[in-house]
Structure 1
């Protein structure tokens, strides 16, 4: 048996409750093991011993335990032992039609079977977060969005997290400092954007977009993200791109200084952010949108001025 089939078979218990049989003839549905009524599977409370003593076998179908008058063939004594069976009824639609298998979603609605429905049923669900559209939106840069997701979840391997993991001696951890400003231990809240180096970059970028009221603290940025995450306005989309690009390139510069000999100035990192945002804006389709044209012209002029700057 292949690895793939072993994995599929391993989730049988998880998917079995979602497979349901719609009774039409009742000849293709196992009365004891399949899901076909609100009490299913009947085998969960009717023991195999009682099934055998009543003259049935474990492979019996729904049709086989119903007589010509539409009544159940099981013993009358079962209603005393299993009173839940008293109200159990089944409607055979057509003896010539085969039973139909359906997939029930998490709300109990019948659906056509698909891998998408299986995923929605099996996946872990949590409370929706307000910042989801801040990270994942149609105009995003995927690698920037993935990085921003890590930032929001505070999953970057910063020095404060290393301390929690108890990596190295206490003395070595005390010697750690932010690779960008050389002051304090780097953390999510320090790098974005309290750090002196990061603050310079962020100040240059946020003045180019509609973020003048957002300061250097991550709390201030988080408040803005929750407020405008779902906004489809062009100026807010540009702000989303600027925030994610700023965090991405500042983290990249931090790693370059920590693990290589490469080092860029705050102005050079700022130019990287300007260029990537400009290129992304040029790929937008906003025909006849004056705000888009003004913004694109502004970013193009900024990048052109930087290219002409002899410094």
Structure 2
């Protein structure tokens, strides 16, 4: 949220010079806003997860997404946890994929990232957050 991740543009401001190219889309400079919201790769991940959540929404920047998610909270309903879990999982998995590409030289496709996000969010909802709501959650995922 504070845009302090060590993206290439941030490293450049600290005096570390690297080729400034997004490793996810390989098209634009890597900046915080680009990496999570303007990158073609990231945008596809966002849209597939939002479709999975049955939400029609366009992403823009992290602070707006947090505000949008907060506005969707209805008491302590498990769907509010679903939305916030997805937000965290998307940002984490995009950052992790970026680092895997840079430091390990491996690449995963969008489908892999989306399935990974869905798996982690589902596990969190089913086994950590609301075990008593398992049937309702599974019905919603399968709808």
**Structure 1 and Structure 2 fold alike (TM over 0.5):** yes
Task: Report the TM range for the smaller structure's normalisation.
Answer: 0.7 to 0.9
Alignment size in residue pairs: 141
TM superposition shift of 1:181: 0.3
TM superposition shift of 1:216: 2.3
Structure with more of its chain in helix, by fraction? 2
Q: CA separation in 2, counterparts of 1:220 and 1:212?
A: 15
Q: Which residue of 1 aligns with 2:6?
A: 157
Q: CA separation in 1, counterparts of 2:136 and 2:52?
A: 12
Q: Does 1:216 align with 2:59?
A: yes
Structure with greater Cα Rg: 1
Deviations 1:174-223 (A, max 9, x none): x320000012221221122221111111111011225423x121154143
Change (3 A) 1:183 1:221: same
Could you tell me which runs of 5 or more consecutive residues in structure 2 were left unpaired when the two chains were aligned: none
Q: Does 1:294 align with 2:139?
A: no
2:92 alignment partner, SS class: helix
Question: Greater relative contact order: 1 or 2 (C-alpha under 8 angstroms, separation 6 or more)?
Answer: 2
Q: Does 1:285 align with 2:127?
A: no
TM superposition shift of 1:286: 5.6
Alignment TM-score, normalising by the size of structure 1: 0.41
Q: CA separation in 2, counterparts of 1:231 and 1:161?
A: 38
Q: CA separation in 2, counterparts of 1:158 and 1:229?
A: 31
Could you tell me which runs of 5 or more consecutive residues in structure 1 were left unpaired when the two chains were aligned: 1-151, 303-311
5 Å-filtered alignment, 1:47-58, equals none
Q: CA separation in 1, counterparts of 2:115 and 2:122?
A: 10
TM superposition shift of 1:229: 6.4
Q: CA separation in 2, counterparts of 1:227 and 1:295?
A: 21
